[in-house]
Amino acid sequence: TMSSKLYDLAFKADFSAVSKRIQTNPNEARFINDNNWTTLHILAWKKAPLLLLKAVYESYPSALQVRSKRGETPLDLARDNGAVQEVLVFLANSEKSQLR
């Protein structure tokens, strides 16, 4: 299957490498895997820090609207996996502003 280096680093939860990679290859944030997960889904699931989520979000804001094959958005994954409040607030507010 196709992949992206950014996605793979996110999957390994190598947050410092993700932070560097998003600066040099922001287009990789658009990658969507076979289960319809984006890098933002992975970072939400892995409880990545807010700054990293923001950087990836800014490279591909539409990721917030992408639903996995099970129907989950990045916000759903963050909520279900006990992400910190500031992450949930950021994702929820960003999602709301897109739907306006």
- What sign results for the dihedral spanned by CA atoms 50, 94, 9, 48? positive
Give the pLDDT score at 100. 67
pLDDT of residue 83: 94
Residue 3 has a pLDDT of 82
| pLDDT tens digits, 2-19 | 789 999 999 999 999 999
Longest dimension (CA), the chain: 35
Q: Euclidean distance between the first and final Cα of the chain, in Å?
A: 35
Q: Which stretches of the chain drop beneath a pLDDT of 70?
A: 1, 100
Number of other residues whose CB lies within 10 A of the CB of residue 95? 15
d(CA 15, CA 58): 16
- Structural domains of the chain, with CATH: 5-99 (1.25.40.20)
pLDDT for residue 94? 92
- Return d(Cα 48, Cα 54) in angstroms, integer: 10
User: What pLDDT sits at residue 1?
Assistant: 53
∠ Cα 97 81 30 (to 5°): 50
